[in-house]
Chains A and B, each alone.
Chain A
Amino acid sequence: MFLSNIETIPGKTITASHGVVSGSTVRAKHVGRDIMAGLKNIVGGELRGYTELLNESRDQAIERMKAQAQQMGANAIVNVRFSTSSVAVGAAEIYVYGTAVTVA
């Protein structure tokens, strides 16, 4: 499965388009991580626990999007975009979407 965030897969030609595919995850944060983050918040800096959490969720959302594209018979996804929103205090949604295509 080829992925890109531009209109094409560089070096290949698109032979068929299958429409929009998407994947999403909603993750809640961990109490332990939250306590650590609360302490870290006094001095500022990176919250590693959250970085990891969001990376895991993003990978999962991408996997879901890929599965959907595979089901459509596509072998690539172009124009991939990401969006993150916090749906409630303590939970974040990661949404990833793109256009499923066949490239040769």
Chain B
Amino acid sequence: MEALFPFLPLLVWIVPIVLGFVFGQINEKRHYRSIHAREKAWLHLPTTASRYPILPGHIVRSELVGGSVVVSVDYFKRAAAGLRSIVGGPVKSYESLLNRAKREAVLRLKESCPGAHEIVNLRLETSSLSNNARGSIGAVEIYAFATAIYLADATAV
């Protein structure tokens, strides 16, 4: 036990990184599976970033809808990004995190209006909750918002 003592500070670094790597990877795989399945289920709902409705038909109702998610990076991703920032280039570990978060926010938006016929003017907002302050939690919020449109005759769909 005493022989381990000099390595204790190192262990304090390594253990969260290993935990982050193992559980982070499991979480990411599971999340991607869920995203792929739900995206397939929502294919019938046309979604556009354009400001104008894309489907013909009489509009009976419209409403503002939104979906949000707050995600945090794991210790492994943070360490990987730290190493990457020495040489520069794409930070893959953050790319997949933000990609998952954005798709999740859009899916939540769609799940909040199950009867809608189309979604127009989809916008995404990203904000950092920590301002990269030292010792704080590295988390980002993604908020997706759009106008959901309900048509009288959905035969065109």
Contacts and interface: CB of A to CB of B under 8 A. Distances in A.
Contact of A47 (B23, B62, B71): B71
Interface stretch (A16-24, A67-75, A79-87): A79-87
Contact-residue bracket for chain A: 35 or more
Interface residues of B, number: 50
Interface stretch (B1-9, B35-43, B82-90, B120-128): B120-128
A50 B31 CA distance: 18
B62 A4 contact: yes
Interface string B37-79: 0000000000000011100001111111010111111110100
Contacts of B53: 10
A44 B16 contact: no
B148 to A, nearest CB: 9
A80 B68 contact: no
A54 B137 CA distance: 16
B127 A5 contact: no
B157 interface: no
Contacts, number: 130
B24 A6 contact: no
Contacts of B113: none
Contact of A3 (B64, B77, B133, B149): B64
Contact of B74 (A7, A34, A41, A89): A41
A89 B130 contact: yes
The 5 closest A-B pairs by CB, nearest first: A44-B74, A11-B59, A43-B23, A3-B64, A84-B127
